Amino acid sequence: MRDASPAWGVVRAFMRSRCGVMLAEDQHYLLDARLGPLAREFRFPSVEAFVAAACGPSSEERLRRAVVDAMTTHETTFFRDRPFWKVLEEVIIPSFKTSGKRAIRVWSAACSTGQEPYSLAMLLEELWPAGAAASEIIATDVSEIALDKAREGSFTQLEVNRGLSTGKLVRFFEQNTLSYRVKESIRKRITFKADNLLSPTPGPKDCDLVMCRNVLIYFDENDRQQVQRRLRSSVITGGQLGFGATEMSSQGVPMGGGWYRPR
């Protein structure tokens, strides 16, 4: 394994300024593992040459996006963290039905390749069909490549095996030769957009639910609090904000993989 090179410092600074992701100094092995294939794909003579071209102030946007996609984690599954979805299924969605609401507005932040918003769309259709048809789900991520996959809605056998029951697979997917694609009736209910969680521009407004899970752990404390303020500003009074099991609100309230009302 090579020692950390100056190029790794450039990548760390780039990711910190571009999307707030904090890469550790001792993760320098990722330089070759994740950016080596990109250097070859874009026909640069070395990883260092690629980093110089992709992470500089006048670099091409396509190269910048490739670095962000390679260096961010896209590990996700359908219905990830069962306790989180159990609260949605047994408490939150039924409360919408009994409240007289006709629809809800949802922001799935840092949605990666789409499993989270698709999971929600399927759950809404099962539990509240009338509300599901009228509801709006906005799903965002900093990676354009991840969003392209999410919009397509096609997943491998391995991906659908992780978290999906046979019943949901049969009801909500169409099988192709080598993949399963989410049916159009579900895909059209989700709007996928690029978004940087550290952007000074507000996120989607007037949301009944905002989900942002398993991403704040990659931010430092100041950026984490900035993102949490931005997320809370998107939630209507009485709405719910959902974090991951390892994350906490800026008030220090343990999330436990679940939900809380920010105001």
At 6-34, the pLDDT tens digits run 898 999 888 888 877 888 888 888 889 88
Residue type, 127: L
pLDDT, residue 28, reads 86
Per-residue pLDDT in tens (0 to 9) along the chain, 263 residues:
455 688 989 998 888 888 778 888 888 888 898 899 999 999 999 999 999 999 988 888 889 888 888 888 777 899 998 889 999 999 999 999 999 899 999 999 999 999 999 999 999 999 999 999 999 999 999 988 899 999 999 999 999 999 999 999 999 999 988 899 999 999 999 999 999 999 999 999 999 999 999 888 888 888 888 999 999 999 999 899 998 866 655 544 444 457 887 76
How many CB atoms within 10 Å of residue 40? Answer: 13
User: Phi and psi at residue 154, in whole multiples of 5°?
Assistant: -105, 135
Contact at 8 Å (CB) between 155 and 179?
yes
Please tell me the number of Cα atoms within 13 Å of 99 on its side-chain side. 15
pLDDT, residue 145, reads 87
DSSP 223: H
Over its C-alpha atoms, the chain yields an Rg (Å, rounded) of 19
pLDDT, residue 249, reads 54
pLDDT, residue 122, reads 98
Which CATH number fits the domain 6-71, given the four candidates 3.10.50, 2.60.40, 1.10.155, 1.20.272?
1.10.155
pLDDT, residue 3, reads 54
**Structure tokens given for 194:** 């690029």
Please tell me the number of Cα atoms within 13 Å of 56 on its side-chain side. 9
- Closest alpha carbon to 245 in 65, 53, 88, 83: 83
pLDDT, residue 95, reads 93
Query: Distance of CA 186 to CAs 88, 118, 124, 210, Å?
Result: 18, 7, 10, 19
Please tell me the number of Cα atoms within 13 Å of 12 on its side-chain side. 15
What crossing angle do the helices spanning 30-41 and 47-54 adopt, rounded to 10°?
A: 80
**Structure tokens given for 18:** 């571009």
Kindly give, in sequence order, each residue whose CB lies less than 8 Å from that of residue 195, ignoring residues fewer than 6 positions away.
Answer: 109, 140, 141, 142, 203
**First-residue to last-residue Cα distance in the chain:** 49
User: Phi and psi at residue 61, in whole multiples of 5°?
Assistant: -65, -35
Could you give the residue range(s) of every CATH 3.40.50.150 domain in the chain?
Answer: 82-260
Strand extents, DSSP E, the chain: 105-109, 136-141, 154-155, 173-175, 180-182, 190-194, 207-212, 235-242, 259-260
User: Phi and psi at residue 121, in whole multiples of 5°?
Assistant: -60, -40
pLDDT, residue 4, reads 61
Which CATH number fits the domain 82-260, given the four candidates 3.40.50.150, 3.10.310.50, 3.30.70.600, 2.30.110.20?
3.40.50.150
The dihedral through the CA atoms of 186, 187, 188, 190 has a sign that is positive
**Structure tokens given for 263:** 């105001």
pLDDT, residue 255, reads 43
pTM of the predicted model over 0.75:
yes
Please tell me the number of Cα atoms within 13 Å of 3 on its side-chain side. 1
Could you give the residue range(s) of every CATH 1.10.155 domain in the chain?
Answer: 6-71
What is the β-pairing status of strands 180-182 and 173-175?
Answer: antiparallel
pLDDT, residue 254, reads 44
How many CB atoms within 10 Å of residue 229? Answer: 11
